[in-house]
Amino acid sequence: MRLLFIVLLSIATINSFSQNLKSGGVLKPEQANMDIRHYTLSLNVDPEAKTIDGYTEISLILAQPANVLLFDLWHGYTVKQILVNNKVQAFGFDKDMITITGASPFPAGKLLVKIIYGGKPGVAERAPWTGGIQWEKDGQGHPWIATTCQGEGAKIFFPCKDHPSDEPNEGADMFITVPKGLVATGPGLLVGTTTKKNLSTYHWKTNYTISNYCLVFNIGNYVKVTREYTSVLGNKIPMEFYVLEEHKDKAPHLLEMMERTCHILEKYFGEYPWAKERIALCETPHLGMEHQTNVAYGNKFNYTKVGGEDFDWLMNHEFGHEWWANKVSNKDWAHMWIQEGICTYGDNLYYREMEGEASYMKHMQQIGRSQNSPIPIVRGEQVDSDSAYQGPIYGKGAFFLHTVRYVIGDDIFFPTLKKLATDPQYTYDNMVTTADVEKLFSTASGKNLKPLFDFYLYTANKMEIRMHQTGDDKYLVQVLNMDMPLPLDVKTDSGILKITTSKKGTVVTSKTLPEIDPSFFYLKKVIIE
C-alpha cells in the first residue's frame, strides 16, 4: 500500500505540474479592452534548481475603465506581488489566470503592471511541438536550456495577454541572468552584459512588434560566429549564429547557406523584415522554431544537396517564418495556414531558384499527392492553437498557393504575394485573416476568388471534374462541385489545351482519351463517363 501511495502521489504531482495548455481561442472581454504596448522580462534562471524567478512589466493601454485586469500565467508558479503604476494591488491567481482588482476602477489610458513571481517551469515534453523549458546538457556537460511555447503560449513562463491578436507594438526587453560562463540569447539586439560575482545578466532588446511565443530565451555554452549580409535594398545587416562551442567550426558554412536562403526569400517577399536589428540563429536541443531574430536551430548540421549546394531544410523553413508568421501574422489561430502554408510554399520557391521550374513542379506534385486529410484548413473563427495546428495548414496551404498561381498567372500572383509580405496594411502591427488575403488576390486579379478560397480552405473536399464522352472525338469537361469558371489544362492528341470550364462544362476534341490537369495544379478527383 505504501508503494502504491507513493506511485499515486508521484502521478498526482506530475499531473499537477503538467501544462496541457492552449493559446488563443475566444478573447475575454477584459483582455480585449487591453492593448499591450511593451513587455519587460527580468528573470534569474537557475539551471541546478531548474527554476526561474523575477518579474514581468507589462505596459498597456486600456480602451475603457476596467474593474479588473486579467493576465495569463501557468498555475505552477507563485505570484508574490503585483503593482499597477507602482501601487501594490490585490489579486487572485487561479486556473492559469491572474485577476487584479483595484480599490477603484482602473482608468482608461496607460498602465504599467509589474508582476513578481517565480517557481519551477513546466518541462517541455516534446519540444517544440509540446513546449516548455528544456533543461539539457551539451556534449561537454554544460547546461543547455531552451524555451518553446507556440502551442501553449508564453504564459508557460511569463504573465501576458496570451492571444495572437495582440503583440507589443513597442517591442520588448529581456534581462536574463544565468551562472557566469553561460550565455543567454533573446530577440533583437544585445544591449549589454553585466557580471556580478558568479552571475551574468544579458539584456536583449527589440523595438519591433513581436509575438509572445517568439519572446523566449535560450541558454548555453555558446560562441557567437558572425557574418555581414547586404540586403536587397543595400542595408548592411549583421548575421549571428550562437552555436555551442563544440560545434563552432560548423557555423560559418551554415551562415553561408543562410545568406543564400535570405537572397532567395528577399526576391519573392521583399527585404529581410528585421533589417534594423539582425539575422540570427541559435543552436537548440530541440529541432527548431521561428523565434524572431533568434531562430532556433537543432537539425545537427544534416544537409542534403539542392542545385549542387548544401541545403538544410530546417534552417530554410524556420528562417522563412521571419516573413510568414513574424512579419505577416495571423490575427487568430484559425488562420494559421497563412503562416505555415505560405512559408511552406516559400520552401518550394527555393527549389525553383536553385534547380528551375521543373524541380518546383516536382516538389509541388509530391505535396499534392499527400493531401488526403478529412480536416479543413480553417475550422471556424476564434479557435485555439490546438484546433488550428493540424497537418493541412502546411501541405494543403502550400498547394493552395500553387493553385492560385495557376488560376491568376505569374504576372499577377508573384507581385501580389510580395505585396502581402511588404504592404504595411498586412505587416508588423497589422495582422491578417483569410478574408484579407482573399480580398487582396481577388482585387489584384480582377476575379472573384472567394469560391476558390472557400472551397480549398473551409472544406476538405477535392474538386470533382467530370469528363463525359459526347461523340467519337468529343468530351464534355465539367467541374461538378465548385461554382466558378476555372482555367484547366487538358492533354489531347494534339498537345496541351488550356480551357476555361465550370459547372456548365466545355467541350474538347481529341482522338485519344484526354488527360485532365496533367501537371497537377488542382487537388481533384476525375470522373470519366
Domain termination residue (choose one: 458, 485, 512): 458
Residue where a domain stops, chosen among 154, 188, 220: 220
Q: Is residue 254 predicted with pLDDT exceeding 50? A: yes
pLDDT of residue 19: 64
Helices (H), 29-83: 29-32
pLDDT score, position 16? 39
Residues 417 and 484 both lie in one domain: no
Does 9 reside within a domain? no
Closest of 88, 84, 54, 86 to residue 69, by C-alpha: 84
In a domain, 189, yes or no: yes
* DSSP assignments along 288-310, one per residue: EE--TTSEEE-STT--EEETTEE
The arithmetic mean of pLDDT across residues 485-499, rounded, is: 97
Beta bridge partners of 38: 59
**For residue 237, what is its C-alpha cell?**
545587416
Residue 18 predicted with pLDDT over 60: no
Q: How far apart (Å, rounded) are the C-alpha atoms in residues 411 and 98?
A: 51
pLDDT at 193 (0 to 100): 98
pLDDT tens digits along 61-84: 999 999 999 999 999 999 999 999
CATH number at residue 293: 3.30.2010.30
* Mean pLDDT for the stretch of residues 296-301: 98
Domain that holds residue 502: 463-528
What's the total number of domains in the chain?
4
Least confident of 119-128, 299-308, 382-391, 475-484: 382-391
Sheet holding 218-220, edge to edge: 132-137, 143-148, 218-220, 183-185
Rounded average pLDDT over 355-369: 98
The pLDDT of residue 408 is 98
Say how far apart CA 363 and CA 373 lie, in whole Å. 19
Asked if the structure places residue 2 within a domain, the reply is: no
pLDDT above 90: residue 348: yes
What pLDDT score does 349 carry? 98
Average pLDDT over residues 240-249: 98
| Together in a domain, 77 and 180 | yes
DSSP state of 451: H
Shared-domain flag, residues 434 and 322: no
Q: How confident is the model at residue 1 (pLDDT cuts 50, 70, 90)?
A: very low
Q: Report the distance separating Cα 184 and Cα 522, nearest Å.
A: 47
Q: What pLDDT, in 10s, does the model give residues 177-211?
A: 999 999 999 999 999 999 999 999 999 999 999 99
510 plus 410 within the same structural domain? no
Specify whether 110 is located in the same domain as 259.
no
pLDDT of residue 20: 66
* Summary mean pLDDT of the chain: 95
Query: Which has more confidence, 379 or 10?
Result: 379
Q: Is the pLDDT of residue 149 over 80?
A: yes
Indicate whether 100 and 193 sit together in one domain: yes
Structural domain ending residue among the three candidates 415, 430, 458 = 458
CB 377 within 8 A of CB 339: no
The Cβ-side half-sphere exposure at 182, using a 13 Å CA radius, reads 27
User: Domain of 209: which CATH number?
Assistant: 2.60.40.1730
Q: How confident is the model at residue 271 (pLDDT cuts 50, 70, 90)?
A: very high
Query: At 510, which CATH number?
Result: 2.60.40.1910
Cell of 69: 485586469
| Domain match, 266 and 211 both | no
Q: Is the four-CA dihedral 282, 286, 287, 290 of positive or negative sign?
A: negative
